[in-house]
Amino acid sequence: MPGNMTMDALKDAVARGEIDTVVVAGIDMQGRLIGKRFHAAFFVNGGYEETHCCNYLLTVDMEMNTVQGYKSTSWETGYGDYVMKPDLSTLRLVPWLPATAMVLCDLLDHHTHEEVPHSPRAILKKQVARARAMGFEPMMATELEFYIFENSYESFRDGGFAGLKPISGYNEDYQLFQTTKEEEVMRAVRNGLYGAGIPVENSKGEAEAGQEEINYRYSDALDTADNHAIIKTAVKEIAWAKGKSVTFMAKYDHRRAGSSSHVHQSLWTLDGKPAFLDKDDAHGMSAVMKQFMAGQLAHAREITLFLAPYVNSYKRFCVGMFAPTKAVWSADNRTAGFRLCGEQTKGIRVECRIPGSDVNPYLCCAALLAAGLDGIEKKMELEPEMRGDMYRAQGIREIPTNLREAAALANGSAMLRAAFGDDVVDHYHHAAQWEISETDRVVTDFEVQRLLERA
């Protein structure tokens, strides 16, 4: 569901003194919330119409460096403005911050007021519109995993990121006693998100020390991506307020399991019927579902850049830790990159297990949707199901093993260029090249420990 507050309700709350701040947030290339905090009185008296931000926000890296070489903006063009246009359907309370509401924004060209093509929300909205033109409503859910640390962000940053202490001392997968000890954070997360209009289902311990997962209701693709982005910010803010910290890195320690963001997907007809279900099929899969999955498998390697955007993302793909290494499909098999779930029910869906929790949800969902819709348009035939241990299987489609390979595949993808546009693909390929070059030049602790004395 979208936000849980109308403009009239916000005006009333402002008049009563219950809300004094409105967070006005866009989405950057990394999937983070960016924007401003408005005095609520100004917002309801006209500020809700639009505001502005520097257009460099869609060309900076994780460190907010002004990366050169983008076509969209540069020092040469003067780094002008984008319009931030509040989408009032996303207006909501923010229970974990005092007297605060939030609204998400679309980023528009300052001169034409058209959506910026390479803005993450616009990229996903374009693919949703494509699906609807074909008679489908794309439905998705993302599962978010993360680690909680006893350290505050300030303490481990001041300590050079050494001495990270997970909140648990042991694997806590489904363990209720250990997660009881984490309820100071997780209860506040569940209740805070529910109060913000995000329909939380549950939280649970995950398969490592200090690792948690939060799940929220299946929804339309844009709403799911919006919820995902808000949840990541909420979890960080709530943990910080309690003196803790969290990380959504795909792999923060090579000795520990990575953190995933599995994406569940299905198409429904515009009149609310499950387009993926055919009870006469052995698995319950309709022809549409088979074509959709065939498209995702055919293009899996090309879209991996948008499912695993950083050098670190690829450290997660290792044998025996429930992260996939093969881009194949299997029924209810967690060793495959694509898992068939909900056989013979209206909830039948495909779970893509490739994305990590570092993913930008808009780009991830858009890439998956683009690949699946291409399969339907071309009536692709689904390859046979793979069974057994995919880690050990040989001669089958591999997930790219590093960002350099994934970036090259995305750059050469005719499907992505047709779906997103050349400028969009070039934009994110350039971002990947910068990420690679920044990582290539850095001497790591591992290299020093391994080579300093013995080389």
Asked whether the beta carbons of 146 and 357 are under 8 A apart, the reply is yes
Give the integer Cα–Cα distance in Å for 329 and 314.
20
CATH class of 132-440: alpha beta
Give dist(CA 36, CA 383) in Å, integer. 48
Report in angstroms the alpha-carbon separations of 142 from 94, 215, 360, 362, 371. Answer: 21, 7, 11, 11, 18
**β-pairing, 21-27 with 100-109?**
parallel
DSSP-derived pairing of the beta strands 136-142 and 92-93: unpaired
pLDDT at position 392 is: 84
How many whole angstroms separate alpha carbon 404 and alpha carbon 409?
A: 9
Compute the Cα dihedral for 230, 233, 239, 245 and give only its sign.
positive
Model pLDDT, residue 176: 92
User: Which CATH number fits the domain 7-116, given the four candidates 3.90.1150.10, 3.40.50.720, 3.10.20.70, 3.50.50.60?
Assistant: 3.10.20.70
- Number of alpha carbons in the 13 Å side-chain half-sphere of residue 123: 33
Residues 330 and 232: beta-carbon distance below 8 Å? no
What is the pLDDT at residue 388?
84
Give the strand pairing for 136-142 and 33-39: unpaired
Distance, C-alpha 376 to centroid of its chain: 24
Rounded to whole angstroms, how far apart are CA atoms 234 and 43? 22
Question: Where do the domains of the chain lie?
Answer: 7-116, 132-440
Q: Give the pLDDT confidence score for residue 368 in this predicted structure.
A: 98
Model confidence, pTM: 0.96
Kindly give the parts of the chain with pLDDT less than 50.
none
Give the per-residue pLDDT at 244.
Answer: 96
In the block, which residue shows the tokens 């996939």? Answer: 324
Q: Angle, nearest 10°, between helix axes 300-307 and 287-298?
A: 80
Q: What integer pLDDT is reported at residue 1 of this predicted model? A: 55
